[in-house]
Every structure is written in C-alpha cells, then in structure tokens.
Amino acid sequence: AGDVPEHFKVDLWPEPNVEDNVFGSKAVGEPPFMLAISVYEALRDAVAQARGDGAPVKLTAPATAENVLRALDGR
C-alpha cells in the first residue's frame, strides 16, 4: 500500500472501556445489512408486480441481472 505513512504510531488505551452504551456497539454493521435486505425485497416486489400472476417469486441471491430475469420467467 503506497499511501501508508513511513512512520505509523498507534497508542492503545491502557484500560478497557467500562462505560455502558445503548444496546452495545453492534450497530456499526447492521444498518448496511438491513438496507441490503430492503433492496432485495424491493426487487422481489418489483418482479411480482411485473409478472402479475400472483405466484411466489423465487429470487436467488445474489440478485444479479441474470437471476432477476430468471425470476421474471418464473424459473
């Protein structure tokens, strides 16, 4: 990596952080995951509306263009 500084110094806290926070610190990775699920479900809804036959939509992940076309065909 050419953008790493020649001298890179990191200081760590001497003691653990004991302060409580709301629901722990797991919220860093969850919002993008939930947004990804909403996009996937929006694609499924769009395929269902485009087909209009009321049949369940089988959209396999990842939702590539090829998989969306298969779902539109009902395969």
Indicate if the pLDDT at residue 26 is higher than 80: no
For 50-66, b/e burial (b = at least 16 CB within 10 A) is: eeeeeeebebeeebeee
Locate 23 and state its tokens: 């629901």
Asked if residue 22 is part of any domain, the answer here is no
The answer to whether residue 13 sits within a structural domain is no
Q: Is residue 46 part of a domain?
A: yes
Greater model confidence, 50 or 2:
50
pLDDT more than 90, % of the chain: 48
Quote the domain boundaries for residue 62.
Answer: 29-73
d(CA 53, CA 49): 8
Residue 25 clears pLDDT 70, i.e. is over it: no
pLDDT value for 69:
96
CA distances 38 to 15, 30, 33, 74, Å, are 40, 13, 9, 21
Catalytic, out of 6, 19, 30, 41: 30
pLDDT given for residue 1 in this prediction: 60
Q: Can 30 be counted among the known catalytic residues?
A: yes
